[in-house]
Amino acid sequence: MTVTIRAGKWARQYGGKESVEVSLEEGAIVDDALQEAPIPLEKIGVILRNGKPVSKSATLHDNDKLELLQLIIGG
């Protein structure tokens, strides 16, 4: 199955692209897709699947779109 991962411009600092398509086995979960993204997992704040928040253990489906929002900290 094919899943699109979009992280936006902030992904460039890790050598990645703003958007990539990855091929995964049926039954793959969000965490499997994240392993294909060139972004350190600790830099990801929120994961959206098709526009809705999702956990790393959620099952993916063909043509899902993941959006990775950067973790922002400060005070």
CATH classification at residue 50? 3.10.20.30
Task: Retrieve residue 58's tokens.
Answer: 């959620």
Cβ atoms of 31 and 57 within 8 Å: the answer is yes
Q: How many CA atoms are closer than 13 Å to the CA of 45, on its beta-carbon side? A: 7
Q: Number of folded domains in the chain?
A: 1
At 39, the pLDDT band (50, 70, 90 cuts) reads confident
Tell me: pLDDT of 18 over 90: no
* Mean per-residue pLDDT, 53-67: 97
* Between 22 and 37, the higher pLDDT residue: 22
Q: Which segments within 1-74 are labelled E, that is strand?
A: 2-6, 19-23, 44-49, 52-53, 65-70
> Distance between the two ends of the chain, CA-based, in angstroms?
41
Domain range holding 9?
A: 2-70
* Mean per-residue pLDDT, 38-45: 86
* Mean per-residue pLDDT, 37-53: 91
In a domain, 75, yes or no: no
pTM above 0.95, yes or no: no
In a domain, 47, yes or no: yes
The pLDDT assigned to 75 comes to: 67
